[in-house]
């Protein structure tokens, strides 16, 4: 994709519950932009409360792309997202507008902005690996992955059957380690990334409040409705949904489900901190800064002008959650 000369895409990234949607919306309004979603679960129609998706009214007339593009029975595809979201950015630029990418799904952000090529798939290989996982458990496959690609095994937990199977599938198809196909920190889409940082204690409190609001808005009822439509594996495993589904199936009561959503959301936030914290190009801002929007606009202006070189475009790397 070729961006309009002098126009960088703006990406607002970081852990959940730091206010990415609000900042992205404010930047789009100030910069004449349109938003491209980079939250994997917000791709799904009907998954609104549990993903904290902005309502139509809350979007304030700003165009949003890559929201509500999948049925809950479909499995999300990073490769398909890359193709379609890059096309969205190209069309936004062609209209003379600014693309504002907003989301905390690290692989989706990297697939959109960075050099990342996707190996093909092989249904027969995948089916064979899935059958082995079903018969012998994911631990056996994870041990095999550890032998073939130790770095991938460290990055992929032994309980993540889907990713273990995919890693082994890629290794068999390409004859290369799975990690050889991971994204490089090389922009294909010229961009400036703004990360929202937050004190961990404050973030934990925000997560708890967010889960309370989700319950008040009707998360359980939302999940019940989605189950009637038949949720696929990807949607059913989303944080906030998996725990409610377990409760509906009789695996614990409502209090236990709420506590699990809080704990797993906090765990997700830590993973997001680690993921984005590894990228030295992200310019980190304090999510609690009362002048956050102005600070972010300064980062964008400096990157546009090239006045501060790599520091303006990439930002100073610092420890998250201090």
Q: Which of 156, 110, 71, 97 is nearest to 279 (CA)?
A: 110
CA distance 76 to 54: 20
Residue length, the chain?
322
Q: Is 158 annotated as a binding residue?
A: no
Report whether 19 belongs to an annotated binding site: yes
Question: Is 21 annotated for ligand binding?
Answer: yes
Q: Is 16 annotated as contributing to ligand binding? A: yes
Residue 129, number of CB atoms within 10 A of its CB: 21
Instruction: For residue 76, give the 3-state DSSP assignment.
Output: coil
Contact 98, 33 (CB under 8 A): yes
Please name the residue that has the structure tokens 């032998």: 147
SS3 category, 77: coil
Token representation of residue 68? 């509500």
Residue 195: its H or E element: strand 191-197
Maximum distance among all Cα pairs of the chain, rounded to whole angstroms = 59
Q: CA 265 to CA 234: how far, in whole Å?
A: 16
Binding residues for ATP: 14-21
- What residue numbers does the annotated binding site for substrate cover? 16-21
Binding annotation:
14-21
């Amino acid at each position: 994709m070729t961006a309009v000369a002098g126009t960088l895409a703006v990406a607002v990234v970081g852990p959940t519950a730091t206010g990415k949607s609000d900042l992205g919306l404010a930047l789009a309004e100030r910069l004449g932009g349109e938003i491209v979603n980079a939250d994997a679960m917000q791709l799904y129609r009907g998954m609104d409360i549990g993903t904290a998706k902005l309502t139509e009214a809350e979007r304030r007339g700003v165009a949003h792309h890559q929201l509500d593009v999948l049925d809950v029975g479909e499995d999300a595809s990073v490769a398909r997202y890359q193709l379609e979201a890059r096309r969205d950015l190209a069309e936004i630029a062609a209209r003379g507008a600014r693309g504002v990418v907003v989301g905390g799904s690290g692989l989706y952000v990297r697939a959109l902005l960075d050099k990342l090529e996707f190996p093909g798939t092989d249904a027969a290989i995948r089916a064979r690996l899935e059958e082995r996982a079903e018969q012998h458990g994911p631990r056996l496959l994870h041990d095999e992955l550890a032998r073939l690609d130790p770095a991938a095994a460290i990055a992929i937990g032994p309980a993540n059957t889907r990713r273990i199977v995919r890693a082994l599938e890629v290794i068999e198809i390409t004859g290369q380690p799975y990690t050889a196909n991971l994204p490089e920190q090389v922009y294909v889409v010229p961009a400036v990334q703004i990360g929202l940082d937050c004190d961990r204690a404050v973030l934990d409190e925000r997560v708890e409040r967010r889960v309370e609001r989700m319950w008040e808005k009707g998360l359980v009822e939302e999940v019940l409705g989605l189950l009637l439509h038949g949720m696929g594996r990807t949607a059913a495993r989303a944080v906030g949904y998996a725990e409610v589904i377990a409760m509906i199936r009789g695996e614990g009561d409502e209090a236990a489900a709420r506590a699990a959503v809080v704990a797993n959301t906090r765990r997700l936030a830590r993973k997001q901190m680690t993921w984005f914290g590894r990228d030295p190009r992200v310019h980190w801002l304090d999510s609690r800064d009362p002048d956050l929007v102005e600070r972010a606009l300064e980062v964008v202006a400096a990157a546009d002008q090239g006045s501060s070189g790599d520091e303006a475009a990439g930002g100073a790397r610092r420890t998250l959650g201090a």
